[in-house]
Each structure stands twice: as C-alpha cells, then as structure tokens.
Structure 1
Amino acid sequence: MAVTKNTPINSTLKKAIQYICNPEKTDGTLLIDSYGCTPETADIEFEWTRKKAKDNSKESHLARHFIQSFSPGETTPEQAHEIGKKLADEILGGKYEYILSTHIDRGHIHNHIIFNDVNFVDYKHSHINKKWYYDTRKISDRLCKEYGLSVIPQNENKGKSYIEYTAAKQGTSYKAQLKADIDRAVRKSLDYSDFLLRMEIAGYEVKQGKYISFRAAGRERFIRGKTLGGYYTEDSIKECIAKNAIHRPKKENRRINLIIDIQNCIKAQESKGYEHWSKIYNLKQASRTLNFLTENNLTTYKDLEAAANKIHSDFDSTAQKIKAVEKAIGKNAILIKQLEIYRQYRPIYLKLQKVKNKEGFTRKFQRELILYEAAERNLKGKNPPPLETLIKDNGDLSERKAKLYEEYKKLKSKSAEIEVIRSNVDTLLNRPRERNPEIEK
C-alpha cells in the first residue's frame, strides 16, 4: 500500500535535491527523473521561475517535497518509479518543474518528488491545501490499484464539527447540537410547518404549548427553546423563517435526484416524519424524471441508454482534448523558459569570451552562466520556433482550454444527471442494476 506525505521546503533546497538524487539510494542515479529542469541545476532553475512570479510580494516556499512510500516487498523499484512519474505528471499537470527519485536503500521502496512552488506556465504560486492532499492521495490510490497494489482504506468515520467539538469539551454538547440543528432547520425551512417536519426528521420530538420544547431520541427531558436563548423561542423561529423566505430566491429547484429506497432506508423505518417526507420527495423526483424523458423525446429504454452513452462519450472525449491541450501548453512552456533564459543570459556568455579575467568573471556570474549553458544544451538540435510565436501559441491554447473546460463542466453535469435519470427509471421499472457510488455522492 502507498502512504503519501507532503512538506514545504523553506531553505537548503540544493541539499534536499542532492539528498533525493544520492546515487547510493537511487541505483546509481538510474531511478532519477525530471521535468522542466535538470537535476544538476534544478535549484537555480526553480529560483529563476520563482522570480517571475506574478505576486512577488507574496511569501512562498522554495519548493514542495512529496513522498510516496510502498509496503515492503509489494513492488519493484522500476514499477514504483513508473507510478511516481504518473503521479507527478497528473498532480502537477505539466506546469511545475520537478525532480523524481526512487529510493531503494531501506526496507521499503519510496518515491521523492520535489517540485517548484511556482509554475513556469503562468508563474502562479501553488495552492496546497487539504483538498489538494486528499485528491493527491486518491490519485495515488487509484494508480496503486491499477498496478495491483494494496491501498489503505479511507477513514469512514467523519470528524465532529467545530460546534460539536467545542461543546463536547465544555460539557454542553447536547444543547449546542440542538441549537445547531434548529439553526440548520430554520435556514432550510419554507414555513413553520416545514420547520417542525425537519426537526422530526432530525430525530427530535417537538412539544408545542406555551413554550416550544425539543427532546432528542434517548433523552428523558424536553429542552425549552427559550432556555437556549432569545433566538430559539417559537416567535423568533417563525420570524426568522419569514425573513429567510423574503430573501430566498424564488427559482424552483429543478435538480433531479435519486429516488430514495424507502423499504431499505433505516432512517425511514425509524422516523415516520422522514418516511412521510421521503414519499413526497420520491413523487417529485419521479415526476421530474418523466418530464426529462418527455422533453428529450426518450420514449424507450434503448433511447435512454443511447443518450447516456452519447453524453459519456462526449464527456470522455472533451476530457482527453483538455489533457492534450494541457500537454501542448506544458511542452511550449518548457521551450519558452529555455529560450527566455538563453536570450537573457547570452550577453553575459558573450562578454565572458572577451574579458581577460575569465575566472573572476565566471565566479561573479556563476549562476547566470550555469543557467545559460543548461538552456543551450536543452535547446540543442530542437530548432524551436521564435519565442514570440511560442508565447502567442500558448495564449491561443489557453483560450481553447478555457472553452473546452466550460464544455467539460456542462457535460459533467449532464453525465451525472443522465445517470440519476437512468437509476430512477430502473427503480420505477423495478429493473436490477449495479449501483454507481460516484453518482450517489
């Protein structure tokens, strides 16, 4: 199974690169790869790119260090390196310079990926957050499954919300949770009756009288709304619902969702209120499903399947087009980078040929000359088009990508919708069909 870890590099970037490229750890450097740079000059190439960042005032890291570890004996060095290369290409999208190395000197094989904190396509800083890490782990797990490797199951237990956590520490979790549930029900309710139904669905018994009171399942006593604060009296709740109704958009929700399987729904068995709501909900979804079929002239199940296959095919095709455009943008961006370095530092190289004290001049402009020589080597034999042409081409490609992405988002929505329609039709016709967890998220 693969374990992933990501940390920023704020100093000693050169030492970090030297460490991951150690020949003793990488089978004599055979298990080292790079993109958009060369391992020997990566630290100063990263710096050159960072200096072109659009927001130079923003403090950024020098680079990011990503580690992907595998269980002992589960994979070979070559296979692990191949997985690491696919992971780096996918998570970085061909926009960031990176060094990849696979270490085999320990009991478990592991990949090191050091990538620049600023990309060389539009010179923007990376945005590494929890979502990025979660998405990266999903990609790593998917690649491991494709190669027949095991993965660590995702934690199925959801964490507590901040309100629940704080309340639990203070010993007032029940009241805090009740307030949170009332707030949620008030926000979503169309009127007071709807509010009462939502509280019942949430698992509360509601007692109306002089003071509205709530009792959660398993609790002995009711809690009066007024003891929770002035916002939780019956009059305040009604007033808040009325205000929300004024500001709520009047556009009808036309989204088609999955029909609930009431017979096998535990929540429906435990709550009569939820069962009642589910039946009304299912009637609405069935109606919307039939309206969709009529509006799109899908008169037979075969027509529905053909429509679904067409949408999925168009969606996959658009996704592939986006990847091809991104690859072309990345390829051009590498050439743009090398040409810009070559053009920027060639005067220094030419001056070196004329000065008498070549050793002193070389010491003074060491980094510039190293970058120039690396760019010259990388451009040798490629005969690229003029720099201005490449920049214009990438501008055109970026516009094409933006249009494709808009089409991609629409097709993604249609693809999810047609699957919900097909699942609802299967339910209405009592047709057995494999469940798709991706659609039910």
Structure 2
Amino acid sequence: MATLKHINSKNADYGAAEQYLLFEHDEFTMKPVLDETGRLIPREDYRLSTLNCGGEDFAVACMRANLRYEKNQRREDVKSHHYIISFDPRDGPDNGLTVDRAQELGEKFCAEHFPGHQALVCTHPDGHNHSGNIHVHIVINSLRIEEVPFLPYMDRPADTKAGCKHRCTDAALRYFKSEVMEMCHREGLYQIDLLNGSKNRVTDREYWAQKKGQAALDKQNAPMIAGGITPRQTKFETNKEKLRQTIRAALSAAASFEDFSSLLLREGVTVKESRGRLSYLTPDRTKPISARKLGDDFDRAAVLAVLEQNAARAAEKAAAISSTPPSIQDQLRADRAARTAPNVQRLVDIEQKKAEGKGRGYERWATMHNLKQMAATLNVYQEYGFTSPEQLEAAVDTAYQEMRQTSGELKALETKLQGKKELQRQVLAYAKTKPVRDGLKAQKSPKAREAYRQAHESDFIIADAAARYFKAHGITRLPARKALQDEIEQLVSKKSGLYNTYHAQKQRFKELQTVKRNIDQILRREEPRRRKEQSHER
C-alpha cells in the first residue's frame, strides 16, 4: 500500500535537498556517505526531473523567486516542503510498477496538487530497509510563483496567489492522502485506507529508534554468530512495541475489562480511562502513553469490541464442550482450511508444446511442473471442501457473481465520487469569482457594469458556467466546502474497502478457475486410462 509522508524544512540551502536525492546518505545521521577519496557516492538508480524552474537548476530558481518576492529571507521561515509517496513492495512483481512509471505518477501528482511551485521529483527503487519499495520524493519551494486555481485543500484567498506560501495543514494532508489512495485505485496498485488511522501507529521517531536499536543489536551479536553461538535476542523491539505486545496478549486472554486490567497489572502496566479514552502506564514511566499514540487497535472502542468477541467465543466453546467435543481430525481440518491455499498454476499441454518444437528438456520440466501443479490442485480442491467437480463448478459461479456484485458497487461508488468531485470543482471555481461578482454589484450604471464585465470576462465565463451546472443539477444552495470535502473523503475510504474486497474476490475466482481447469484436464487424462483398463478386464 502507498503511504504519504510530509517534512517541512527551514534549510536555506536548496541544493542540500537535491544532494540528498542524488547521492548516498547514512540513514541514521543523514550525512553524505564518502568513498575512500572523500568524494560523494552517487545513488545507483534514480529518476529526477524539475517542474516550473524555467530551465534553471532547482536551487537557483528557488533563490531567484525568493529574492523577487522578498520571501523566505528569515531563519525561521519554512523554505521547502518534502512529500514522500512510498509504494507497496508487492506493486513491482504483482502490478508491474517500475521506477519510470512511479516517476510519471509523481510528476503528475506534483503538477496537479502543487501547481505554481518550483519542484523536484525524484524516484528511488528502494527504501531504507531494502524492502524493494519504490518511492517518490517531491520537494517544492514553499513560495508560489504563479496564481493557481482554488484547490480543495485551500481555505483562504492567499493560497492561490503568486508570492504567497504553501501551507500543509491537517486538512491539506488528509486531502493529499485521499488523492494518493485515488491514484493507487486508478492505477491498480495495492492500497489501504490512509484516512482512518492504523492498527499500529509508528511515529518517525519510533521508526528510527527501532532501526538504530536493531543495528546496535546486530553489531553486538556479530561476534557470537561468528563463533557459532546463537544469540538469545536477534530482533530489537522498542518500548512501545513491547507495550503493544503486552496489551495484545492480555486482550487475547481476557473476556471482560476487569480481566483485561488485572492481566495488564500482572505485567506492571496500569490501564486508565479518562473522557472515554484509554491510556497505559508502564513501570519505567511517570506519564501514561495514550492509546492514540499506540494505534487504533488499542483505543477504547477496539478493546471493548475484542473483549465482547472473546466473551461470545467463550460462551460458544462452553456450549460446544457440554454437547460433543470436536475430534482431533476436525480441529486439524479446520486449521488446514484456515491456512492460505498454495499458489496454483495451470497445467502445461505437453503434446501441444512438442508440436511447437519444444525439446526433451522442456518435456521433462513440463512433466515435473504438471505433477507439482496436480498435487497443489488436489490440495486446494480438498482444502476448500469440494467433493465433486459439480460442487467446484458451483463455487466458481458463486465467486464470479460475488466479484461482479462488488464490481458493480465499486462502479456505482466511483460514479457518485466523480459527481461529488465535479460539484466540488464547480463550487471552488464559483467561490474564486466571488470578489469579481461582488465588484459588479458595486457598479452604479449599466454602462459601468458592462465595462466591468468586459474587463473581467474570463471570471464571468467561469461563474456563468458554474451557475448553469448548479441549475442543471437542481442545486439551489451550495454545500459547505469542508462538508463536501469530508463527504468525498468518506467515499474514498469506502471505495478503498470495496477495492480491496474486489481484488481478494478476483484472486479467489482466478484460483478457483485454475483449479477447475486443472481438475478437468486431470479427469480427461484419467478417462483414456480407465477405458484401457476396462478393455483389459473384458
């Protein structure tokens, strides 16, 4: 899933941002890495482009603009904003995301959401943790050099004017996150809901504390590993992560809030409730850690929901024990069904491939491949609980219908979302023309009004087009911009859930289709063998 991160900088050296993007830097100190001769080491792979720099170097263009508008001259001024869009590592192998494609998406995102700003867009193929996540850096000069349209995240007239500065408010960051989600949905990439929190909320500070602690632990364990000794601890955990694990362990064993509190207390953790919010106090702290800083899984609503499920499960288990205890085979069957099914691939038609000119080496490989896929197919066939090809056929049809239903809901939601975005665009365009429309009212004579309209013809064309749109859609009272944006964000969140559901259903449908094809092919191969055996029996 793609994530969005924002960093503002007061560094007046715009070249430092470009240097970070082009050369290797130590991930802990953020200082450049030098070779034996003391020179900077270029990054192995990246894509870099500039926007609105007029053919000049990014740093030079930014300094010229700052001098022209007499902005960003003080030490405390925010000179630049740095946005990082990190894609899911699976997007490369699964969805065909490349560095070039990510760079194109980054440039388009920058042009749409940061118009009028001088910008650097740079894509790297990997992250700090070498997980293979392609990520895009967008660095913009905080100063705007052109007047731009009124965008949804803007809330004051100065946000559109040249010579004014970009502001990354909470509302703006939410808007950018919703647009990142929309971009991933549109491009068929993995995505989660960025607007409604996360199960584990790891701050940048905790992330780097974990990285530094892991590096120190690896260094400490290196002599033992070299000597053939297995270290007792190989994974470093921050205090917050240890607290999360302690809370989860207590949650898994508790059926009421009293049990939950007592289990935590045994581990030295005190849970407190104030104004409907939970906080957790560990023995090494004097100030409790709020659930909000740990993640959504640890707030009051989530904790009570898990406790309620545990209580219901305990009641069902007690009722089941009182009737007929499940056999070991039933438990093993349930565990096997809960496991993820293996990846099944289609069987190879060896005779057809031989006719196409494939040799004996390919025939041996294809034979082994088919044997493996037949075994995997039969495993999936049994794990899903199918007893006949007809039952599998019905499951394929059901999976297809579920996928089609979700697809229809997704398309209907997409249509509604596009309608809301178009309404938002018209509302913002109409709002920007308000000063001009108010100026027309101040004109006293028809001649003066006519001259005024001609002088501001482009603004009145926009206002008239928006008015026609409102009339055509029966809108007599314009919605509040904030309420409209909130509604759009809710639709984007709902779309994200449907989007992931649809992809899971599509994956299951494809897997069942493959199993069905393989089963059909296996049965076709078995049929001649049965006929041959029957002829020998006669």
Q: TM-score, normalised by structure 2?
A: 0.34
Q: TM-score, normalised by structure 1?
A: 0.41
